[in-house]
Chains A and B, each alone.
Chain A
């Protein structure tokens, strides 16, 4: 059993209806479901992107985490993150840059358990801060991270249209 499996089993926030949910490291066999879940949520199929993400984050490299939530033998969500050091001048901290839950079973605390699991991985690796970035328009994801206690960090994202 991996560290992440243990974290899910010990999760004190587990809701009555989610017995049996397991958070584990992703394996190559999970990719078709990951690709389908993302396509369902975003409307854009990106199989090559997710295969590349699995190569980079799902193969056990230090500080990189690609976790899936499995219920009754089915993958129902996934979360990806990594520890980045000195990016934008920041000391090492965990970054979450993908989180998806099957929309049919949202509000079952699956996202919360995946969030707790990846934060547990970050903590175990010695970092004490977790960050993420979401679209201002994506209120579902923004509200979720807010509900986990996340607040605005010290950075402001800026961009420029290069064709102006």
Chain B
């Protein structure tokens, strides 16, 4: 599955902030960690702010902090801020109205349904647990 660059960055940023919701993190720190420009990140953070997932804290020591519900916000919630679903998009493609187009649409709908259910069932909290588990696994492998 391919996500737009901004969407992927939004997921990184929101997870970075949700991992330590009590902490304010500067845009510069987030941009440095994920190797993106501050300008690009600032636009993403603005959109996340409009969606009430992050708060901008102004002044010295300011930055951004997560203000959503880590147990309720899913990956799909974040993705849809940047990539709203457009069910009719595929119908406009050349060939979509043919018999083969219709059959292909059934297969791609199946894939979309599975992807949607997956993204809608994984909360930020679940993602943070997964991150922690992967880190622990990697640490164990390093020791071995």
Interface residues of A (CB under 8 A from B): 136-137, 139, 142-143, 146-147, 149, 152
A-B contact pairs, 20 of them (CB 8 A): A136-B113, A136-B114, A137-B117, A139-B120, A139-B121, A142-B117, A142-B120, A142-B121, A143-B121, A143-B123, A143-B126, A146-B121, A146-B122, A146-B123, A147-B125, A147-B126, A147-B129, A149-B130, A149-B133, A152-B118
Contact B123 A147 (CB under 8 A): yes
Name the prevailing secondary structure of the A interface residues: helix
Q: Which residues of A contact B118 (CB under 8 A)?
A: 152
Q: Which residues of A contact B133 (CB under 8 A)?
A: 149
CB-based nearest A residue for B122: A146
Q: Which residues of A contact B117 (CB under 8 A)?
A: 136-137, 139, 142
Interface residues of B (CB under 8 A from A): 74, 113-114, 117-118, 120-123, 125-126, 129-130, 133
Q: Which residues of B contact A146 (CB under 8 A)?
A: 121-123, 126
| Interchain CA distance A136-B113 in the complex, whole Å | 8
Name the prevailing secondary structure of the B interface residues: helix
Q: Which residues of A contact B123 (CB under 8 A)?
A: 143, 146-147
Closest chain-A Cβ to B11's Cβ sits at a distance in Å of 16
| Interchain CA distance A27-B125 in the complex, whole Å | 35
Closest 10 A/B residue pairs (Cβ): A142-B121, A136-B117, A143-B121, A147-B126, A146-B121, A146-B126, A146-B122, A139-B121, A139-B120, A136-B113
| Interchain CA distance A136-B123 in the complex, whole Å | 15
Closest chain-A Cβ to B60's Cβ sits at a distance in Å of 37
CB-based nearest B residue for A144: B121
Q: Which residues of A contact B125 (CB under 8 A)?
A: 147
Closest chain-B Cβ to A99's Cβ sits at a distance in Å of 14
